Amino acid sequence: MVPEGHETEPPPSERRREGWPRWSVWMLVALVLASVVIPGLINRDSGTAIDYSDLIDEVSDGKINSIVVTNGTGAIKAEAIDDVTYSSKGPVELPETDLELLRDRNVTVEFRSESSNPFLSMLPILLPFVLIIGLFWWMQRRAQGQMSGIMSIGRSKAKTYTTERPETGFDDIAGYKSVKQEITEVVDFLKEPDRFAAVGARIPKGVLLVGPPGTGKTLIARAVAGEAGVPFLSVTGSDFMEMFVGVGASRVRDLFQTARKLGRAIIFIDEIDSIGRKRGAGVGGGHDEREQTLNQMLAEMDGFEASEGIVMMAATNRPDILDPALLRPGRFDRQVVVPLPESEERSAILTVHAKDKSIDENIDLDLVAKGTPGMSGADLANLVNEAALNAVRMDRDSITQEDFEAARDRILIGQRRDSVAMTDREKEVTAYHEGGHALIATLFANSDPVHKVTILPTGQALGITMQLPEERHAYSQDYIEDRLAVLFGGRMAEDTVFGVTSTGAANDLIQGTELARRMVTEWGMSDRVGPMAWGSDNQVFLGEGLVSGRDYSDDTARIIDEEVERILRTQEGRARQALIEHRGALDRIATALLDKETISGEQVAQLIPEPDESEPASGSISETEGHPPTAKSETD
């Protein structure tokens, strides 16, 4: 089984050569202890222990033949005439009377010096040398470790997954049928390369997965490897970059050498835009080390043939900044777009993520999926988890539809701020501001439907008008103009009712100005400017537009500014006129918000009369004057 990385652990024999075995340390400790303990055991006195006074009595009785006295310790060993051995402890220096007694009784007396432990006697001399040698040995080991790290810095950090690992297949990916069909040829080639070789077909060397973050590009690449039953080498673009020159190119070479040793394999590079950006771009001429890494990758991709059974896969969400040489035929031949999931695909993804959750049987995941347009697979996984957390927070045993609603609101508009206490005046102005957004969004046919309106402080806003966009892949001019009118609805409601405007519409104006400018400069929705488009001027990091951020004259810039102003003022007038004509509905919506704090889009529609009904005008709920507070809508 191939380990996580292709750098395998050295065998035990090599590890023993690299350093001392573990048992050698314990052996050294045992030898030291033996040198200290064993001499003491050998020199230990043997025989029958008696007191010194009793020993003198035995000498007086003539029962002792000889004694041995140890200098410095007073230890005495005596041999009796009946071959009995006595051991005793006397004074360090024997008294003169006792010595005369021993001579009178013809006792042989021998004085011996205590035998010293050679190891202990040499320890003061050896200890400094041992410490110096140990220090040099430790420094050598550290140097060897650092050198081994430096020598292996050029090796690839790719993780290798083999067929022995738990497989990931297409069945584990919910939705994305078109993406699966497009990359099925890669799977078939890796499974049966002879069938393609028989007709002379050449499989693409490289497949580039392009899509927004969180759409499952990495999971799709692993599913290809799982379906084909071949090893899968995964690496990120940032793994090639180090502070040392030439490391990235060395790792690229090592990565492809490893793939060739495996035979048929898939090399997957995630976030390839980190090393695959256009060469020679940027202020100062670009990043030389990154460009050398890219050059080595381009050379390696040219170096293997399709018959080798190696397929390159990469993922990025910025294909526009990749080097053209990386995208030409023969390298990354095919681009597979992994878009945001549609409603049916979102429902399937929610079903996958809800498998291990306790879900209430009355939950309709299709309804949840319809209310989450624009969410990626990662967003949906987070949605299910937030719903589970909300269920636990509310002491429920299973996840209900209410939990999904709370989770969606938390993700889209933020968390409620219960600590914010608004005055009555602030609540009234906020109610009219959000009521203006909701009224215009309900009246204009091309705008997104209103989901709910609240004046409870949420996220960074004092109030929210939440709209759920319908599934759209292209936006008409009528839709964008109605969108602008909705953005101006809050500001015009404050101006219509109170005669003043607040800073609450700041973000509305920012979004509206950006939309209007794109209508003029990118989408050709201005008759005066005509069918002309100018791209964004934020391209300095690619080396474009260094001198000037625009490619049109000052006269054209003045015309663009005038057209943007005309569009904004026109939609502001539409919003003002609609609010004046439906002033009664605006008052009813504001009253409902002040009463209930949160109302649904259906309740908003019920408060607006039919076109044939008269709409009487009325004043504001409160005629109290004051400075309007900051109020934000969902569009903020």
Helix residue ranges, H only, 476-629: 477-498, 506-521, 554-581, 583-596, 601-606
Are the beta carbons of 607 and 431 closer than 8 angstroms?
no
Q: CA-to-CA distance for 72 and 239, rounded, in angstroms?
A: 73
Task: Count how many Cα atoms sit within 13 Å of the Cα of residue 538 in the half-sphere of its side chain.
Answer: 0
CA 83 to chain centre: 87
Which residues are 79's β-sheet partners? 66, 85
The DSSP H or E segment spanning 257 is: helix 247-262
Alpha-carbon distances of 198 from 204, 330, 333, rounded to whole Å: 16, 20, 21
Q: CA-to-CA distance for 586 and 510, rounded, in angstroms?
A: 24
Cα angle 35-40-41, degrees, rounded to a multiple of 5: 100
Catalytic residue among 58, 428, 434, 634: 434
Are the beta carbons of 620 and 476 closer than 8 angstroms?
no
Which residues are 77's β-sheet partners? 68, 87
The DSSP H or E segment spanning 48 is: strand 48-49
Q: CA-to-CA distance for 53 and 88, rounded, in angstroms?
A: 9
Are the beta carbons of 225 and 264 closer than 8 angstroms?
no
In the block, residue with structure tokens 């011996």:
112
End-to-end CA distance of the chain: 54
Are the beta carbons of 377 and 338 closer than 8 angstroms?
no
Q: CA-to-CA distance for 193 and 571, rounded, in angstroms?
A: 61
Q: CA-to-CA distance for 493 and 470, rounded, in angstroms?
A: 26
The DSSP H or E segment spanning 332 is: strand 332-337
A 10 A CB-CB count for 323 gives 21
Q: CA-to-CA distance for 79 and 85, rounded, in angstroms?
A: 5
Helix (H/G/I), strand (E/B), else coil: 606: helix
Are the beta carbons of 260 and 267 closer than 8 angstroms?
no
Are the beta carbons of 469 and 373 closer than 8 angstroms?
yes
Are the beta carbons of 208 and 332 closer than 8 angstroms?
yes
Q: What is the DSSP letter of 555?
A: H
The CA R_g of the chain, rounded to the nearest whole Å, is 44
Token pair of 325, please?
């040489």
Instruction: Look up 93 and say whether it is catalytic.
Output: no
Catalytic residues: 434
